[in-house]
Every structure is written in C-alpha cells, then in structure tokens.
A and B are shown apart, each in its own frame.
Chain A
Amino acid sequence: MLLPLLSLSLLMCVFSTGVIASDKQSAQAAIKKATTLLQQSKNLGFEWNTVTPLILQAQDAIKANDFDNATQFAVKASQQAKLSIQQAENEEKNWHFNLPK
C-alpha cells in the first residue's frame, strides 16, 4: 500500500522542477542571493517594498527548519528583486516619455 505512494512521490520529485527538497545550506545560499540582488536594486533606487518581507519570511522558515519554504520565499524575493533591477534598466530608457507633451 505504501509502496505505490512512495514511488509516486519519488516520481513527483523527479518531474516537478521548482520543488526540490532543500537543506539548510541551500536555503541559506538562496537567501544570500536574494539579499545581494536586493542591495543592487536599492543602489539603483528602485527597491520594491515586497522583497524584504519575503526575505524575512524565508529567514523565519529557516528558523523553523522548513528549508523548502525558506528556499521558495528566497527564490521569489530574488525574482522580484531582479524585476526591479529590470525596471531600473527600462526606466533609464523610457522615463522621459512621461514628460508633459
């Protein structure tokens, strides 16, 4: 009874991309990456206020030994920090379109 369930879950692991079980080290690395990207977007003057809360949630999850969730929050934080950096690059080109005509 347990066996098919187990193999199913193994299969799920193999095929589901994002959801790979993480350990403490990889979760911490993911947070570090998010923090670096956040600093980059802050330096550009385009920090979103959604990113720090995600990093804090990731850190809380690490404290609760929930490394999968920690990683997911950190990855989401990285993704949003990247989007804000991309926004800075776009605006470098586009800001003057907003001048009154």
Chain B
Amino acid sequence: MQRLLNTFLSLSLIVVAIPAVATPEQNKESFQKFYMDRFSHIEKDDFANGVYALDQDARDQWEAMSDFPPFEDDLDEGEALFNTPFANGKQYADCFENKGQGVRQNYPQFDSKSGQVITLELAINNCRTQHGEKALPYKKGDLAKVSAYMASTSKGERFDIKIPNDKRAQQAYEAGKKYYYSKRGQLNFSCANCHVQNVGRKARSETLSASLGHPTHFPVYRMKWESFGTLQRRFDSCNKQVRAQPLEGQAKDYRNLEYFLTYMSNGLPVNGPASRK
C-alpha cells in the first residue's frame, strides 16, 4: 500500500512538474484556457469585469450603480493632480512614454537597469522623487487617484506585459507565480484555492471571481473603502481574509505577484477604474 502510494505520488509529481517548467507564455495559455473551458459561455473580454462576468444578479445591481459612477470626483482630482506641475516645473507627463496617456497596459514592466519589477504606482512615485517631490503613500489616496486617471486614458488598450530575456525577469515572474499558488495565513489558503480551484462558487454569499481579468480594472473604487485602492490594496484585503500579514505597498513579493497576475491577463482590455462593492 505504502509503495503504491509512493508510486502514485512520484507519478503525480512528474505530471505536475511539467507546467512548473513551462514558459510564461505556456502558463498564460493554460491559465486562460482553464477559465474559458470552465465558463465556455463567457466572452474572453468579459472576464475583465471580474465577479460580474460570473454572477448575473450582482451584475444587475452593479450596472444600475454604474449610471452614476461613485468615483467621478476622485477621478477628476486625479486628472488635476496629473496636470499640476512639480516645484521644478516638470510634470508626470515628462516621466512617461506618450506623455503618460494610454500606457496602463504596459505595467508592470521589468526594468533591466535596476533588475526590478516596476508597477505603474512605483513609476509614478519614482517620477516624483526624481523631480524632487516627496513620494506619496502607496495603496490609496492621491497616488491611487493619479493611477486611476492614467488607467482611464488607456481604456480599451490591451494588456501587453513583457518578460524580457533576462534571468532576473524570469525569476521575478516565477516568484510571483509561487506566491500566487502557495497557501498562506492561519487559514491556509492560496490565491488559487479561491480564484482558480473554486472560481464561480460561493463563499457565503460572495461569488469568487476569476483571476483572469483581476488587474484590468484597477485602481478600483470600493464602496467598502469609499475611495480608490490599488491592486496591492486589494491583495491586503484577501491576505487579511486568510489571516496572513499584508505586506508593505510595493514590497518585492507584491510587485512580483502583480507582474505574474497581470501577465496572466495579457490580451484583455484595460477597463479601469471600476467600482466594486
């Protein structure tokens, strides 16, 4: 019996070891295929609407609310902030390609100079410090407003995250992937336990969304927060649910996770900012 079990275990190890050495491109294909097979009636682009792609009742409520988006004021503020020059006369537009218009779909990027993953929020703060301004707090507040404005100028552009042929970029991607699939917290959940294995099922009354499309609509204005929050702020919420200690904004693990998660949604349209419960 023990031997049978061992053979079985090593066999299953071989079977699952294959995706572990697959390329990011192959990972992405099987990740997207998993959801498209599971929900064959849903158009791929509709996954960008998160849980509302899967739960019609919730979608009806959400669409009723979308007639008067709760974030209009914050978004206007984001635009004003974006266009306000720094003390040295430069502005955000000077730090980005195409003056910062329509660039959301290219973030996070791997920066081969620093060997780091650069999220849009990190790039915004880098821009500030480079021009002698103080970095803003991550996850919410003015930074999230600026990021939301930048997302809004990118509506409909398709995510195109690149993993360059650089060992450090691949390592960052693999680290993010491992974070996503590892159980953590006292309650012992991986992101995948909820958003892959149990996607579409209900935890109490909440339908679990697909991770395909997770990053496309961030920053998100959550009724619960009454403000914009970045993708990493949402990571905090999910980590707290499983009693794992959330990380600092832009911690390396979070940036790597965001890199992996956004790469998985390559090809989907930018549709942020969006509102959520």
Contacts and interface: CB of A to CB of B under 8 A. Distances in A.
Nearest to A93: B13
A98 B196 contact: yes
Nearest to A83: B186
Chain B: number of interface residues, binned into ranges: 20 to 34
A99 B244 contact: no
A89 to B, nearest CB: 11
**A: interface residue count bin:** 20 to 34
A91 B245 contact: no
Contact of A100 (B31, B182, B240, B243): B31
A48 B193 CA distance: 18
Nearest to B22: A99
Contact of A48 (B20, B34, B244): B244
A15 interface: no
Interface in B154-185: 178-179, 181-185
A52 interface: yes
B20 A99 contact: yes
Interface stretch (A4-12, A17-25, A39-47, A57-65): A39-47
A48 B244 CA distance: 4
Nearest to B246: A49
B245 A52 contact: yes
A84 B185 CA distance: 7
B101 interface: no
Given A49-B240, A98-B192, A100-B30, A87 B184 contact: yes
Interface of B: 16-17, 19-20, 30-31, 34, 178-179, 181-186, 188, 190, 192-193, 196-197, 239-240, 243-246, 253
Interface of A: 42, 45-52, 80, 83-84, 87, 90-91, 94-101
Closest 4 CB pairs of A and B: A100-B34, A47-B245, A91-B182, A98-B181
